[in-house]
Amino acid sequence: MQEISNTFLAKSEVKAQDLEHRRKINFNIGRYNDAFQKGKHQFTDLSTARERAKNVKWRAIENLDKYLEEFEANFSRRGGKVIWAEDADQALGEILKICQAKKAKAVIKGKSMATEELHLNDFLAEHQIESLESDLGEYIQQLDGEPPYHIVTPAMHKSKEDIARLFHEKLQVDAKLTPEQLTAVAREKLREKFRTADIGITGANFILADTGSIAITENEGNGRLTTTFPKTHIVIAGIEKVLPSVNDLALFWPLLATFGTGQQVTVYNTILSGPRQENETDGPDEMYVILLDNGRTNILNDAAVRESLYCIRCGACLNACPVYKNIGGHTYGTTYSGPIGAVITPHLRGMDEYKHLSYASSLCGNCTEVCAVKINLHELLLVNRHEAVDKNLGSGAEKMSWFLWKQASLSRRLMNMAKGSTKNWVISKMFRKAWGDRRELPEFAPKSFNQLWKERKGK
Is residue 6, in this structure, part of any structural domain at all? no
Q: Say which amino acid occupies 340.
A: I
Phi, psi dihedral angles at 289 (to 5 degrees) = -120, 120
- Are 127 and 346 in contact by the 8 Å Cβ rule? The answer is no
Task: Return d(Cα 129, Cα 214) in angstroms, integer.
Answer: 26
* Pair 247, 129 in one domain: yes
Helix-strand-coil split of the chain, %, nearest 5: 60, 10, 30
Compute the radius of gyration of the chain from its Cα atoms. 25
Is residue 7, in this structure, part of any structural domain at all? no
* Pair 371, 418 in one domain: no
* Pair 248, 361 in one domain: no
Give residue 386's pLDDT. Answer: 94
Strand-pairing partners, residue 270, are: 216
DSSP alpha helices (H): ranges in 86-178? 88-101, 113-118, 120-126, 136-143, 160-171
What's the total number of domains in the chain? 3
Instruction: Note the pTM of the prediction, 2 decimals.
Output: 0.91
173 alpha-carbon distance from chain centroid: 32
Q: How many residues does the chain have?
A: 459
* Pair 168, 285 in one domain: yes
Given 334, 365, 390, the domain boundary residue is 390
Given 364, 390, 416, the domain boundary residue is 390
Find, among 138, 131, 141, 110, the residue nearest to 221 by Cα: 110
* Pair 155, 87 in one domain: yes
Per-10-residue mean pLDDT, the chain, length 459: 86 92 94 94 96 98 98 97 98 98 96 96 97 96 96 94 95 92 92 92 98 96 93 98 98 97 94 94 95 97 97 97 95 96 96 94 95 97 94 81 83 77 80 75 84 81
Is residue 301, in this structure, part of any structural domain at all? no
Distances (CA, A) of 299 to 36, 58, 108: 30, 14, 31
* Pair 199, 289 in one domain: yes
Angle, alpha carbons 357-115-169 (nearest 5°): 90
Task: Return d(Cα 219, Cα 260) in angstroms, integer.
Answer: 11
- Are 394 and 388 in contact by the 8 Å Cβ rule? The answer is yes
Phi, psi dihedral angles at 107 (to 5 degrees) = -125, 135
Give residue 1's pLDDT. Answer: 58
* Pair 289, 405 in one domain: no
Is residue 29, in this structure, part of any structural domain at all? no
Here the CATH number for the domain that contains residue 256 is: 3.40.50.10420
Give residue 459's pLDDT. Answer: 61
Give residue 273's pLDDT. Answer: 96
Q: Give 293-353 as a DSSP string.
A: -TTHHHHHT-TTTGGGGG-----HHHHH-HHHHHH-SGGG-SSS-HHHHHHHHHHHH-HHH
Q: Say which amino acid occupies 344.
A: I
The boundaries of the domain holding residue 51 are 43-294
What's the half-sphere exposure (Cβ side, CA atoms, 13 Å) at 109? 25
Is residue 171, in this structure, part of any structural domain at all? yes
Q: Say which amino acid occupies 210.
A: D
Is residue 323, in this structure, part of any structural domain at all? yes
Report how far apart the first and last C-alpha atoms of the chain are (Å, whole number): 51
152 alpha-carbon distance from chain centroid: 8
Find, among 242, 244, 204, the residue nearest to 223 by Cα: 204
Q: Give 23-79 as a DSSP string.
A: HHHHHHHHHHHHHHHHHGGG-SSHHHHHHHHHHHHHHHHHTHHHHHHHHHHHHHHTT
* Pair 68, 176 in one domain: yes
Distances (CA, A) of 78 to 14, 82, 94, 99: 53, 11, 21, 22
